[in-house]
Amino acid sequence: MKSAVFLLLCLSIFSGFETKVSELLKVTLPHGGGLIGRYLSSHSGRGIRAFMGVPYAEPPLGPLRFSNPVSKKPWEGFLKASGNADNCFQYDYLFKENKSIGSEDCLYLNVYVPHKPKSQDLLSVMVFFHGGGFKSGNGDRVSYGPDYLLDEDIILVTGNHRLGIFGFLSTNTLDSPGNYGLKDQSLMLNWVQENIAAFGGDRSSVTIFGQSTGGASVTYHTVSPLSRGLFHRGIAHSGTHFGLWAIQDATVAAENARKLAKALNCPSKKSNPEEMLECLRSKSAQEINSHFYDFFLWDIYPPIPLFPVVKPQHEGAFLDQEPSEISTGHDIPLMLGVTSNEGLMVSASILRSSEVIDDVKTKWSSILPPTLSYSFYSKDVQNEVTDMITDFYVQNYEKDMNDPIFFQKFTDVMSDGYITSSVDRFLQFHQENDQNALDSKTYLYLFNHKGDSSFAELRQRDINADYGVCHSDDLIPLFPVLKEHFFSGVPTEEDDYLRKAMVSLWVNFATYGNPTPTEEDVELPRWNPVGSFPYNYLRIGRYNQPENVTRISMEKGLYDERLLLWRKIMCALKFTHECTCEVNIE
């Protein structure tokens, strides 16, 4: 007992002392101020110099709420940068049971640098944009730490950007044009260009990568005038800006702004956006965020109520044209990919609620449009699309989520409606503008590995059930994203093999623009570019396949019939050019 009291006394005494800081953990930035980081270790034990909670913008408070981000002013002396910053204001619907968390003072980033690189050259840089439906998530060490990627010679940058109402409110006027979350990301990339050399990084070798809405963000940056020239390669996990959920009609966005204002007793007339914003800026962040769920039409759908817009055009706009009208951004190496059961993010979570299960069975035609983000079209178009989906996937099945066959069909609907169709549309558009890019420097993957842990377990009612490879599961080999939530799991030999393989492929791409630049690694097959439809793709993992099947292999033809259906659906929604509506398969 006495020893325990003595230990506590010692800890309390030492907590009040300043400890000596190694010069290796100090970095002086070009503006003259500096950072003091901390020392970490990678998965294999390599040393990491970590600088966390680095401010890249002024806090978006007061008049800067619903405004473009402003670069952080230079400071004198050294800032301590050794811990996670606050999340941006959000509802954490995944881990915190829809509790409002975070702060508006959240625009910070993290830089992770190898302590002893194998090379004396400047290191390539990987900048990660987190997912979360443009409404949740963060870039902190717990979720997106350097444990695996920093086993290699790479600099990793992660960070926060504004979310939900604070990141994407738009009045469709210059008073609040929107896209603030994406503009925050652009400012992060500017920060990298201005400062990364101080950490030993190569500003001419920057790869952006992201997952889900982070993947859509990556493809948005390829067409944004704000981000042009700030990066050199891109990797989009499970999403592109051609998803129905990824871009919103500006008039609908303005209606949502007025809806929020009315709920908060602010002026809400179309003719007075200035008064509306003045009132909204006077409200507390907590009060504003409490109305986020007012935008849902059924359960928690549409999944992304507030998201990027094109209009109004203005100087400094993130987007000044519809993405489908922009022919630039096709000349850089790109990687895109999906998991084999993306739709589990929706279907597995539905199993947790008997009420929602009943809605699927009894209200199919009314819940499908908001779930898949086409409820803003006319009723005739909604009905046409719903009939096309029903006839193709589930015409002969009772809509019972407890039926394993229907459950899988419903999962396929969600997979294709959210993710695979957006990736296909992106590749189609690239083919129209530069087939050479698809033949030489665009790569596609299917992540098909069900590991020791899965994001599906966070959503389903039976943690022992095996539904497949969920949305976000392709992050697990690259980041310690589930360590804190699956501390009782033990990685298998297959998990370890695929982790090492994916880290190698991703870092190769970030370094050379090619995931398999040499023939030296006999463990990995040559990853061929995607080419024309039906696509070449790398299958990563062998879920639901015989043990003698190669763990990683090149394949051809990814969900061809399902993709062709969604091309017809996109045409029915007039979401695509007429020339892409019909495709001949050789």
Q: Are 43 and 148 in contact (CB under 8 A)?
A: yes
Helices (H), ranges, 320-403: 344-350, 354-362, 364-371, 379-389
Side-chain half-sphere exposure of 49, counting CA atoms within 13 A = 22
Rg (CA), the chain: 24
- DSSP state at residue 301: B
Please pick, among 124, 212, 373, 415, the residue that the annotation labels catalytic.
212
User: How far apart are the C-alpha atoms of 211 and 295, rounded to whole Å?
Assistant: 24
342 catalytic residue (yes or no): yes
Tell me how far apart the 2 most distant CA atoms of the chain are, in Å: 81
Q: Which two tokens stand for residue 535?
A: 């696509």
Task: Identify which of 216, 90, 102, 145 has the alpha carbon closest to the alpha carbon of residue 476.
Answer: 145
Task: Identify which of 323, 364, 296 has the alpha carbon closest to the alpha carbon of residue 182.
Answer: 323
Task: Identify which of 267, 272, 215, 244 has the alpha carbon closest to the alpha carbon of residue 447.
Answer: 215
Q: Which two tokens stand for residue 567?
A: 């091309």
Please pick, among 124, 186, 224, 342, the residue that the annotation labels catalytic.
342
Task: Identify which of 243, 54, 239, 208 has the alpha carbon closest to the alpha carbon of residue 131.
Answer: 239
The pairing of strands 90-92 and 78-80 is unpaired
User: How far apart are the C-alpha atoms of 276 and 258, rounded to whole Å?
Assistant: 8
Q: Are 192 and 547 in contact (CB under 8 A)?
A: no
Side-chain half-sphere exposure of 142, counting CA atoms within 13 A = 12
Q: Which two tokens stand for residue 97?
A: 């049971």
- DSSP state at residue 85: P
Q: Is 284 exposed, middle or buried (0-12, 13-18, 19+ CB in 10 A)?
A: exposed
**What φ, ψ does residue 233 adopt, rounded to 5°?**
-150, 160
523 catalytic residue (yes or no): no
Residues 6+ apart with CB under 8 A from 445: 335, 336, 337, 338, 527, 537, 538, 539, 540
Q: Which two tokens stand for residue 103?
A: 């702060």
Q: Is 586 exposed, middle or buried (0-12, 13-18, 19+ CB in 10 A)?
A: exposed
User: How far apart are the C-alpha atoms of 467 and 470, rounded to whole Å?
Assistant: 8
Task: Identify which of 286, 559, 262 has the alpha carbon closest to the alpha carbon of residue 427.
Answer: 559
Active-site residues, by number, are 212, 342
